[in-house]
Amino acid sequence: MTAAITVSERAARRIGQILSKEGEGAKLRISVEGGGCSGFQYKFDVEHAQAEDDLVIERDSAVVLVDPASVPFLAGSEVDFVDDLIGASFRVVNPNATASCGCGTSFSI
């Protein structure tokens, strides 16, 4: 069984703000791709299309899609939003990652 992927309250609020400007039916897609300084990297896109086999995560006005190939890499993760001195960004707290880069956008397993 795959551990759930969750979205924090802060992330849901920010995703909702972004999607409200993107038109009816907009969703945030989170995927994992090869690359980045640690081997894999997170990718965030706004989309209107949803595949039949996408994992759909809903919290408040936020709708997040994850493709089936990315789900095992994100299992048990929490998507958060941080706004600190180095900037505002989404951060994935991933228990599967054995290492990550300083900026938090790439990781290795």
Q: Where residue 14 sits, what CATH number does that domain have? A: 2.60.300.12
Q: What are phi and psi of 49, to 5 degrees?
A: -90, 140
What is the count of structural domains for the chain? 1
**Residue 68, in any domain of the structure:** yes
Which residue bears the tokens 């054995």?
Answer: 98
What is the average per-residue pLDDT within 15-42? 87
Q: Is residue 80 part of a domain?
A: yes
* pLDDT reported for residue 97: 75
Per the structure, the complete domain to which residue 94 belongs is given by: 6-104
Three-class DSSP category at 28:
strand
The answer to whether 76 touches 32, Cβ cutoff 8 Å, is no
Higher pLDDT, 37 or 80: 80
More confident of the two residues 4 and 109: 4
Q: Looking at 30-39, 73-82, 84-93, which range is the least confident one?
A: 30-39
Per the domain annotation, does 1 fall within a domain? no
Query: Quick check: is 16 in a domain?
Result: yes
Does residue 109 form part of some domain?
no
What average pLDDT does the chain have?
85
The one-character DSSP state at 52 is: T
Query: Is 10 a member of any domain?
Result: yes
Report pLDDT for 16: 95
Are 62 and 30 in contact by the 8 Å Cβ rule? The answer is no
pLDDT category at 101 given cuts 50, 70, 90 is low
Predicted TM-score of the model (pTM):
0.83
Residue 72 lies in a domain: yes
The answer to whether residue 14 is domain-embedded is: yes
